Amino acid sequence: MSSRHMNIVMIPFHDCKKWIVEGYRTRDAHLAEHFCKDDRVDKLLVINRPTSLAEMCVKRKSWKTSRLDPTISVVESGRDYELCRINEKIYCLDVFLKDAVRVLLERKRWWHTAYSTASVVEIIKKVIHDLMGDDCVLLIENPVAVSIIDNVQYRLLAYDAIDNWMYHPQMRSLHEIVYAAYSTIEKKADIIFTVSKSLTKQFGKNKSVYWLPNGVDTEYFKPAISSTISKPPVIGYIGKIQDRVDFELVERCLQEFPENRFVFIGPAYSQQKRIKELKRGYKNITFLGDVPYPMLPAIMKQLDICVIPHRVDDLTNSMDPLKLYEYLAAGKPVVTTKVAGVEGISEYVLIADNNHEFVQNIRILCGRLSSHDIEADRIIETIPQSRTWDYISNIFIDRLEDMMTEDGDAEE
C-alpha cells in the first residue's frame, strides 16, 4: 500500500446513521470527517453495527443508511446488506440480521454475537476485498467487535480507545467480553491510541500505545460567541446525562445560586428519577434534552459559564472531556471537577478539588463576567493547537504511516 493511498476500514462506536442524523459530534465522527480531508487517505469504509429484526420492530426505522439522505448513493446491495457512498471518500456498510429472540435474551451482549455471526463476517470480507483489495488499515473503536480481526484481511490493525469500558456502568453486562477484548487488542493490535493518559496503562504490554486526546474545530463554534452577558450569568452543561454527572453537586449549586439559571443540554441515559426531583424542587434548572449538533453553537450562545460537574472515579479518569474544548471554542469560561484531561489546557478552566471549591469557582467567574474581565476571544486563543481535530487527525495518520513504513521495511 502506497502511503499516498491509505485505505481505512473503521468499526466505530457510533454508527454512520448517528453522524448523519445528529451531526459529526463524536470522536469517531470527527476523525472520519478529518481523515477525508487528508490527501493520504484514499477510501474510508465505515462498518455500522449490524441491525437486528428486533431493533427494526422497536424503532420502526429502516436498517439502511441510504434512506436517511437522498444524496447518499447505493453502490451495492443484497437481501441483507447495503454498501452506500456518503461522499467522495466515505463508504458505509449496513448489515441486517433476522434476529429477534436472541437479541431480546442477550441485549447488549448481542453486539458481540452479531460481529461473530458467519453471514456478517462473509459480507464484511467481501465488501473490504471488493472495495480495497484487503490492503487496508483496520481501525476498531468498539471493543465488542474485535472478533472480526481474525476473520478479515488487513495490512495494519489499529485500536482507538475512547474510554475504559471496564468501568462504564452501562457496560456491566459486557464486562467479561470487554476484558477478553482488551486482552486481544493488547496482544494483536499493531498500534493503539487512547483518549487519556491513564488509559494507556490498560494496554501496557503493547509496544505501540499512544495518548491522543480529543479536540475541537474552533471555527464551528464561532456562532456561539456572545458579546453580551446575562444578568445573572446563565450556567450550562452539555453532554450525555449519565451516572458520571454528580447531581448532589448540581443541587448544591442550585441552592447557592438561586438567581442563576442552570441549563442542561443532552439526552438523559440514566438518573431520570434524580432529574425529575430537581425539576420539581428548583425553578432555576432546565433540561432541554438532546440538540442536533448543527444547532449546538446557537444554543450555546445563551450560556455564559459552562460546567463539568462529573464524579471523579475510574471511568472519568479514563476519559478526555470533549465538551471542555467545545466550551472554550465557544468562548465560555469553565468550572470543572478534577477529572482527567482538564489540567493545563487554559487559564479559563477553573478546577475544583471539592464541592466547596466548585461553588466558589462559579462565584469567581460570575464576578469576573460582571466586571467584564473575561473576553471570549481571549478564551479561544488559549486553546492549544494540539487540541484541534486537524492536528489530532494528522498525528493519527502520521502514526499509521510510520507503522506501515516499518511493516514495509520488515517485508523487504
Question: Residue ranges per domain, the chain?
Answer: 6-215+388-411, 218-385
Q: Give the pLDDT confidence score for residue 357 in this predicted structure.
A: 98
> pLDDT (tens digit, 9 = 90+) per residue, 393-404?
999 999 999 998
Q: Give the pLDDT confidence score for residue 164 in this predicted structure.
A: 86
Residue 412: pLDDT above 60?
A: no
Q: Give the pLDDT confidence score for residue 410 in this predicted structure.
A: 52
Q: How confident is the model at residue 1 (pLDDT cuts 50, 70, 90)?
A: very low
Q: Give the pLDDT confidence score for residue 145 in this predicted structure.
A: 93
- Strongest mean pLDDT among 107-111, 143-147, 192-196: 192-196
DSSP 8-class letter at 390? H
Q: Give the pLDDT confidence score for residue 411 in this predicted structure.
A: 54
> pLDDT (tens digit, 9 = 90+) per residue, 260-319?
999 999 999 999 999 999 999 999 999 999 999 999 999 999 999 999 999 999 888 888
> pLDDT (tens digit, 9 = 90+) per residue, 327-366?
999 999 999 999 999 999 999 999 999 999 999 999 999 9
Cross-strand partners of 238? 265
Q: How confident is the model at residue 408 (pLDDT cuts 50, 70, 90)?
A: low
DSSP 8-class letter at 368? H
At 272, which helix (H) or strand (E)?
Answer: helix 272-281
DSSP 100-130: -HHHHHHGGGHHHHHHH-HHHHHHHHHHHHH
Q: Give the pLDDT confidence score for residue 47 in this predicted structure.
A: 97
- In this chain, the answer to whether the domains covering 6-215+388-411 and 218-385 adopt an identical fold is yes
Q: Give the pLDDT confidence score for residue 2 in this predicted structure.
A: 43
DSSP 134-199: T-SEEEE--GGGGGGGGTS--SEEEEEE-S-GGG-GGGGGGHHHHHHHHHHHHHH-SEEEESSTGG
Looking at residues 37-58, what average pLDDT do you find?
Answer: 94
Q: How confident is the model at residue 25 (pLDDT cuts 50, 70, 90)?
A: very high
Homologous superfamily (CATH) of 218-385 is Glycogen Phosphorylase B; (3.40.50.2000)
Q: 6-215+388-411 has which fold?
A: Rossmann fold (3.40.50)
Q: Give the pLDDT confidence score for residue 172 in this predicted structure.
A: 77
Cell numbers representing residue 300 in the block: 450555546
Residue 20: pLDDT above 60?
A: yes
Residue 3: pLDDT above 50?
A: no
Residue 367: pLDDT above 60?
A: yes
> pLDDT (tens digit, 9 = 90+) per residue, 73-92?
999 999 999 999 999 999 99
CA 183 vs. chain centroid, Å, equals: 22
At 90, which helix (H) or strand (E)?
Answer: strand 90-97
Cα distance between residue 145 and residue 211, in whole Å: 22
Q: How confident is the model at residue 93 (pLDDT cuts 50, 70, 90)?
A: very high
* Lowest model confidence (mean pLDDT) among 32-41, 208-217, 314-323: 314-323
Cell numbers representing residue 232 in the block: 445573572
> pLDDT (tens digit, 9 = 90+) per residue, 103-127?
888 888 898 899 999 999 999 999 9
Q: Give the pLDDT confidence score for residue 61 in this predicted structure.
A: 85
Q: Give the pLDDT confidence score for residue 165 in this predicted structure.
A: 82
Looking at residues 196-223, what average pLDDT do you find?
Answer: 95
pTM: 0.93
Mean of pLDDT over the chain? 93
